[in-house]
Chains A and B, each alone.
Chain A
């Protein structure tokens, strides 16, 4: 079972994120770049599939030079190979453009299964996974919390409103994973050392037979025009009541008179 995992490098959102004064983006200085949280779960799931069924795990990333570090992290977890697509013509590409690039990259690889994270924690879009499935012409399931493979068919579960769907999906297919699917392993020291020596294959659009006009800024159907800090919530009041009864009375009064939900 050969598995391809799509990964993205994102800023650690546990740290402060500030909008540039011109509203044109976020301040990149001082950001700590990491492998997207959900992609760690996708890499972990791929490693578990390999452990159970044999095969290989290849991680693929579309991003600038610094994104190589995200691929190194995935290699240190245990992935076999890494492919990094970088091209200046991809500045300003939208998610559909990125998905198209990933699809052309994956077409050049051997795969029975493609995994992505449910979303990337920088832009939260959740667009690339299903769009990639479309470009590859494969069945899909998004935000899966369980994956079992036998006889070329995947049994997957996904959370929906008020329930859990159980689906049977013939492989090859594209799945995006929810965080509950597994607990990712930490890279080991030997794993990190080994990952440093591994060669990461770098490709540009030309290698994929793509023109900038097909996937770059020119092709984008949406573009970010500005970024703003979130609206500040009006400061409320914080009280330390003399008794639990008083605290309860204050809240009930608030629910009735201010929020009007009683």
Chain B
């Protein structure tokens, strides 16, 4: 079995998304430890300058696979292509981003090639020659350590914002290999992708997340969070009650039944801090909480907790942030 570490690239418009850079950052370290190459795998149509850019971010080699059936993600086409090249080239580890397509594809790919797969990975390391992964379980009340059995290939579906992104160095180049593939027409047809225009900054990639809970009392008050988020360049999310009440759509939801986020700062506004919510955000570096109830459980995990009326504090905070930014 081989020693190469592969990163399956998540990309848009010919550029790698942030999670791809995070995987390349961690992948570099693991490839060096294993004595293998770091290989980026790019699937799409067209790929434009993507393979070259992946080289600038530190990939030793890039497998470039272009085919009309890879224009958008398809379970069947991706599984067909990836299983073919994994079988042929036998990497040690395949890192897949935990995105909607990554979570859809990786288990199926694992089943096809007979590889061990671990999802929601937050740490990867080698101990006694064996690859280990750590992942949250039971509403993040438990951290499980998983050991991969055998020599690989091993599959890891990695959460965003847990590894530091690779740095770009212009002039650094990878060996780009164009891989010719046969891709049968998928049985499943993508009719359309309806864009949710409101998402200025992606929740899972944002440096700062401003999130609202039941304390906001109604959908109209999310405008307070939008205003603050606009000043901070932040994404807006919510706990579960606003989703269940129909104030915001489900793609806002952070927690056990929604998304997992790990921003630098998570600002919880009017969120009590139920375990099911903490499951989705307690990996944040800093947590700031605003709540009128001094006994709210959110204060037990907050780096800074402010007891008070969110309807008065949030607009003042927006002003204060604007003022500080103007000062430079």
Contacts and interface: CB of A to CB of B under 8 A. Distances in A.
A134 B80 CA distance: 11
Contacts of B186: 139
B7 to A, nearest CB: 18
B149 A99 contact: no
B116 interface: yes
A247 B196 contact: no
A21 interface: no
A167 B204 contact: no
A173 to B, nearest CB: 8
Contact of A134 (B111, B300, B313): B111
Interface stretch (A58-66, A107-115, A156-164): A156-164
B188 interface: yes
A166 interface: yes
Given A222-B147, A248-B313, A258-B303, A131 B110 contact: yes
B189 A168 contact: yes
A189 interface: no
A93 interface: no
A249 B194 contact: no
B309 interface: yes
Interface in A139-172: 139-143, 145, 155, 158-170
B119 A167 contact: no
A236 B305 contact: yes
A16 B138 CA distance: 10
Give the interface centre of B208, B257, B290 by most chain A CB atoms within 10 Å.
B257
B25 to A, nearest CB: 20
Interface residues of B, number: 93
Contacts of A249: 320
Contacts of B132: 225
A204 B136 CA distance: 31
B202 A127 contact: no
B100 A160 contact: yes
B195 A163 contact: yes
Nearest to B283: A230
A186 to B, nearest CB: 16
Contacts, number: 278
Contacts of A39: none
Contact of A122 (B137, B148, B276): B137
B318 to A, nearest CB: 8
8 contacts: A13-B256, A133-B108, A139-B187, A142-B103, A159-B250, A169-B187, A230-B142, A230-B282
B301 interface: yes
A261 B307 contact: no
Given A125-B119, A127-B119, A221-B148, A238 B305 contact: yes
A162 B196 contact: yes
Contacts of B320: 248-249, 251-252
Given A130-B111, A222-B117, A230-B142, A251 B288 contact: yes
Interface string B202-236: 10100110000000000000000000000010000
A250 interface: yes
B309 A233 contact: no
